[in-house]
């Protein structure tokens, strides 16, 4: 039943995505800027402070630079946008495939609910009409989740770090991953998994770290960067001055951390702090709910 549904969804998505590419106008937002940013790198510039495009400075880690340098070459310096769109069609179908496999592993989740994702105008636009680097970052993230579900933790950490090397916002998943590793391995056996993540980040940034390390850290992992109001979707209801207020960004980050803490407090026996301390001796014990969810995976 699921396999039939799986291939039917992928086939429909492939056809629908090709139709979008051919009949919906491409929207230029970041593609030209991406090409300008990596062109500087391909011309030999390793100082992140000097790598920029029409929308501003390069603010993504080294993995992004290598990935879009490849696109720069494949698409004739970014001029063949249609070819880029077709590459993203394949990327999108692969993205949906991994998402479906994750849903399958978390049964009894009804697989037909993925149709809500497939009819999303926004996600199709982000992939086929924008060519954002978010698409690649999230694909590698979901590949890592799929590997974690299948107890391939080392390889999962590799792909998680690859995702971070393309766009820093994947780090928002890091606290959850950290406690998943603690639950599975305990503190000391978690360290080698974190080391895998660290090595990938060093390799991704190595040419820049050897030449201009400060520039690389300040730009590729700029935690103080301000998001432009005109590009927001979820917070469009806020006045622009409120949206740009750093206190709002700080409050949102704190809310994120509080929700994580409350969730883990609910899921972990004895609470977050005591569970963390116990992880120095053995893997973390979870509540019945989390244990049953993990075993079903």
Give 191-234 pLDDT, tens digit per residue. 999 999 999 999 999 999 999 999 999 888 876 666 776 767 67
Per the prediction, the chain carries an average pLDDT of 86
Predicted confidence (pLDDT) per residue in 62-80, tens digit = 999 999 999 999 999 999 9
Q: Is the CB of residue 136 less than 8 Å from the CB of residue 166?
A: yes
Give the residue from 295, 291, 286 showing the smallest Cα distance to 105. Answer: 295
CA nearest to 205, candidates 189, 194, 217, 197: 217
CA 288 to each of CA 78, 104, 184, 268, 279: distance values in angstroms, whole numbers, following the listed order: 52, 21, 15, 9, 18
The CA distance from 20 to 41, in Å, is: 32
Record the pTM.
0.86
Burial class (CB in 10 A: 0-12, 13-18, 19+), 237: exposed
Phi, psi (rounded to 5 degrees) for 52: -155, 165
Place of tokens 């001055």: 241
In angstroms, the Cα distances linking 226 to 48, 57, 238 are 18, 12, 15
- Tally: H helices and E strands in the chain: 15, 2
Cβ atoms of 197 and 164 within 8 Å: the answer is yes
Residue 280: pLDDT above 80? no
Neighbours of 235 (CB within 10 A): 12
pLDDT above 80: residue 97: yes
pLDDT for 288: 42
Question: CA 21, CA 272: separation in Å to the nearest integer?
Answer: 47
């Amino acid at each position: 039943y699921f396999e039939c549904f799986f291939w039917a969804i992928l086939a429909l998505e492939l056809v629908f995505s090709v139709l979008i590419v051919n009949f919906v106008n491409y929207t230029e937002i970041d593609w030209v800027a991406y090409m300008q940013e990596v062109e500087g790198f391909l011309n030999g510039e390793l100082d992140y402070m000097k790598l920029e495009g029409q929308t501003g400075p390069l603010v993504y880690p080294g993995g992004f630079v290598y990935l879009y340098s490849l696109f720069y070459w494949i698409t004739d310096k970014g001029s063949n946008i249609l070819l880029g769109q077709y590459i993203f069609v394949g990327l999108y179908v692969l993205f949906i495939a991994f998402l479906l496999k994750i849903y399958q592993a978390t049964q009894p989740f009804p697989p037909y609910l993925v149709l809500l994702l497939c009819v999303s105008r926004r996600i199709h636009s982000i992939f086929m009409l924008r060519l954002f680097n978010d698409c690649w970052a999230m694909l590698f993230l979901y590949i890592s989740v799929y590997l974690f579900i299948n107890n391939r933790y080392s390889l999962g950490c590799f792909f998680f770090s690859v995702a971070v090397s393309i766009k820093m916002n994947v780090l928002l998943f890091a606290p959850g991953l950290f406690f998943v590793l603690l639950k599975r391995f305990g503190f000391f056996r978690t360290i080698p998994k974190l080391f895998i993540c660290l090595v990938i980040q060093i390799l991704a940034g190595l040419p820049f770290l050897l030449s201009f390390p400060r520039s690389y850290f300040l730009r590729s992992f700029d935690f103080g960067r301000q998001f432009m109001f005109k590009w927001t979707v979820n917070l469009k209801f806020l006045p622009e001055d409120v949206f740009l207020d750093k206190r709002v960004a700080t409050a949102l980050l704190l809310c994120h951390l509080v929700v994580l803490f409350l969730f883990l407090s609910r899921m972990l026996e004895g609470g977050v702090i005591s569970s963390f301390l116990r992880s120095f001796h053995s893997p973390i014990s979870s509540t019945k709910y989390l244990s049953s969810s993990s075993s079903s995976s």
